[in-house]
Amino acid sequence: MRPEDSTSPVVVAARRTPIATRGRALAALTVEQLAVPVVRAVHEDAGAVLGRTPDIADVVLGNCMGPGGNPARVAALGAGLGFAVPGLTVDRQCGSGLAAIIEAATAIAAGDARPRIAGGVESASTAPLRSVDGVAYARAPFAPAGWHDPDMTQAAEDLARHDGISRERQDAYAARSTQRAVIAEEAGRFTDELVPLPGMADHDEPTTQRLDRLLPRFTPLFADGSLTAGNTCRVSDGAAAVLLVPGGAASRGAAPGLALRGHAVVGCDPALPGIGAAPAILEALERAGVDLASVQAVELVEAFAAQTLAVLDRLGVAEDDERLCTDGGALALGHPWGASGAVSVVRLFSRLVRGGAPAGTLGLAAASVGGGLGVAAVFEVVR
C-alpha cells in the first residue's frame, strides 16, 4: 500500500438510482430528474461520513444523448447546492461517467482541495430527436468521412467475427452475469447504494425480467450473426454519483474510501471500438504501479458479451473470473450510457468499502467507448 498523499483524490460516498430499460419504470424522468436525487444523496452521505456538510467546488456529470444545456449545472441547482456551484457536463459516450470522475479527481490532484461530486446520467427514454434541416439522424458520427464508422451493435458483431467468439460463449457469459445479479439482489447487496425514486422505482429491473434473458430463444440481430437480445445489454435509464475529497485526515478524517491511484484514456481502431478497455486498463495499471493479478475487484462495462470477452481475451483474464462483475454487470442490470462508467465505481465502492475490504485492496473500473476509445481507473481502499 502506498502512503496516502494529501492531494490524492478519494471517493468517500457513492450512490446510484435504480436502472431500468428505456421506456419502462423510469421513462417519465428527464436527465435532471434522474441526476438530482443522486447528487443530493451523495452530498447528504458526505455529511454523515465526514462529520460535516462539505462545500462543493463543482459537479461533473457524464451524459451522451441528453438535451444539452449543461445538465450537471441544472442538477447542482436542483440538489440545493447553491448557485455558486458551477457544473460541467462531459461526453465521452459510454465512458462518460468514469471520465467525469477522473476529471473531478484531476482537479483535486492538481492541488484544488475542495470536494467535488462526479458521476453520470442518462435518460434514453427522454433523449431528444436530433435533426439537421428537419431531417432526423440516429447519432453523430464517431469518425470522419473515410474512416470505418460502425454503430456499436454492428461493431460488436464485427468484433465477434474478427475474434471468432461464438454465440454459445456469449450466451454463457451473459447468463453468468445475470445469475450473479439475481443472487446479489436477493442477498441485498445493492440496497445501500440505491437512491429510491418516489413513485417510480426503488430497485433495479425486476429479477424475473432478467431471468427471461437466460432463455435460448433469441434470434440473431444480423443474418448469420451471433449477437442476440440475450447477449447484448439493454439501453437504459439511470444515474450514479460519487463524492471525491483529497486524502489525508484534514479532508477525509476517518472516512474510508477509494483512492484513485492511476487512470488512462486511450484511443484504438474505430472499426473495432469494443477492445478499447484493454489498452486503457494496461496503461492505468502501469501508471498505478501495479499489475492485474494484484487487483481484487474488476468492474467492466458489459455493453455486449462479445465485446467483454474480446477485452478479457486480450488481458488474459478468464471469463468466469470471480473478481469480474461479481454481482453482475450491464448485461444484467442495463446500460444507461452516460452513467455506466460511474455505476462501475459505485459498484466498486459497495464491493470494497461497504463490503469491508482491508486497506490496500485494489479495484479497477473500465469501459470501451464508441469511436474507438477506452477509459480505465485503478482504485485502492483506504481506511
Residue 214, pLDDT score:
65
Picking from 367, 343, 113, the residue whose alpha carbon sits closest to that of residue 241 is 343
Is the per-residue pLDDT at 326 higher than 80? yes
Give me the architecture of the 9-126+174-382 domain, per CATH.
Answer: 3-Layer(aba) Sandwich (3.40)
| pLDDT recorded at residue 203 | 87
335 counts as catalytic:
yes
How many residues are listed for the chain in this entry? 383
Contacts of 162 (CB under 8 A, 6+ apart): 272
**Cβ 177 vs Cβ 213: under 8 Å:** no
**Full DSSP string of 306-366:** HHHHHHHHHHT--TT-TTBSTT--HHHH-B-HHHHHHHHHHHHIIIIIITTPPTT-EEEEE
User: What average pLDDT does the chain have?
Assistant: 94
C-alpha cell at 124: 434514453
Q: Is 197 helix (H, G, I), strand (E, B) or coil?
A: strand
| Per-domain boundaries in the chain | 9-126+174-382
Q: Check if 148 is active-site.
A: no
pLDDT, residue 123, reads 98
Kindly indicate the confidence band of residue 4, based on its pLDDT and cuts at 50, 70 and 90: low
Of 211 and 307, the structure prediction assigns the larger pLDDT to: 307
* Stated pTM of the model: 0.96
pLDDT average, residue stretch 349-356: 98
Task: Give the three-state DSSP class for 49.
Answer: helix
Name the catalytic one among 233, 263, 268, 335: 335
pLDDT-derived band at 145, boundaries 50, 70, 90: very high
Catalytic residue among 64, 94, 233, 325: 94
| Region for residue 239 given its phi and psi (left: phi exceeds 0; alpha: psi -120 to 50; beta: otherwise) | beta
**CB proximity list for 254: less than 8 A, separation 6 or greater:** none
Nearest-angstrom CA–CA distance, 63 and 92: 8
Higher-scoring residue by pLDDT: 198, 331? 331
Other beta carbons within 10 Å of 113: 14
Closest by CA position to 374, among listed 327, 307, 294: 307
Q: How far apart (Å, rounded) are the C-alpha atoms in residues 196 and 161?
A: 41
